[in-house]
Amino acid sequence: MSVLKSMLTAVETSGDKSWQDALGEVQLAINCTLNRVTKASPLELLIGKVARPLSLMCSEVDNKVNIESVRETASENIQRRADYDKTRFDRTKAKVLNFEIGDFVLLENEERNQTKLDAKFKGPFKVIEVLDGDRYRLKAINSKPTYKYSR
């Protein structure tokens, strides 16, 4: 969306055309631009031809490509990028540790139910039972009731 906004702003500030008049040319330019991940343009993946705006095309150039090969390469590039992004994301996240019976925990208060000066956590609670589905039965240290809590 930011690319579209930037291109339409550039057209509008150039003074030659209004953005409404240049919308088709802007769309063609975006559809002909190589994607960073797929290494192919959207039109190349769709119709199997290297498409460029007319002002950039040479008449001698054969613009046909093997569409199956281009799509397969794009699919591999997308998967490779997804794997890289997942690895990078997971590297910065804390590991989730499960609680065991006898552990003491604090529960985070929801922001919408507190004022600026209220305590950020309530508890401590003692884990008295581990339930299915990453849930726990908790007992307050200073009272009798127990609570079911899911992470």
The answer on pLDDT for 23 being more than 80 is yes
Q: What is the rounded average pLDDT of the residues 70-88?
A: 95
The answer on pLDDT for 22 being more than 80 is yes
* Residue-level pLDDT at 63: 67
Q: What is the rounded average pLDDT of the residues 7-26?
A: 85
Pick 56 or 15 by higher pLDDT. 15
pTM score? 0.51
90: number of CA atoms within 13 Å, CB side? 7
Residues 71, 40: Cα–Cα separation, whole Å: 9
Residues 71, 76: Cα–Cα separation, whole Å: 9
* Residue-level pLDDT at 88: 93
* Residue-level pLDDT at 59: 55
Pick 30 or 94 by higher pLDDT. 30
Q: What is the rounded average pLDDT of the residues 10-26?
A: 85
43-57, 77-91, 103-117, range with the lowest pLDDT: 43-57
The angle subtended at Cα 135 by Cα 111 and Cα 113, nearest 5°, is: 15
Burial of 116 (0-12, 13-18, 19+ CB in 10 A): exposed
For the chain, give every domain's residue range. Answer: 2-91, 104-150
The answer on pLDDT for 56 being more than 60 is no
* Residue-level pLDDT at 54: 62
Q: CA 90 → CA 57, 78, 79, 151, distances in Å?
A: 44, 18, 16, 19
87 — pLDDT class (breaks 50, 70, 90): very high
* Residue-level pLDDT at 58: 55
Task: Identify the bridge partners of residue 105 per DSSP, sorted by sequence position.
Answer: 125
Contact 122, 106 (CB under 8 A): yes
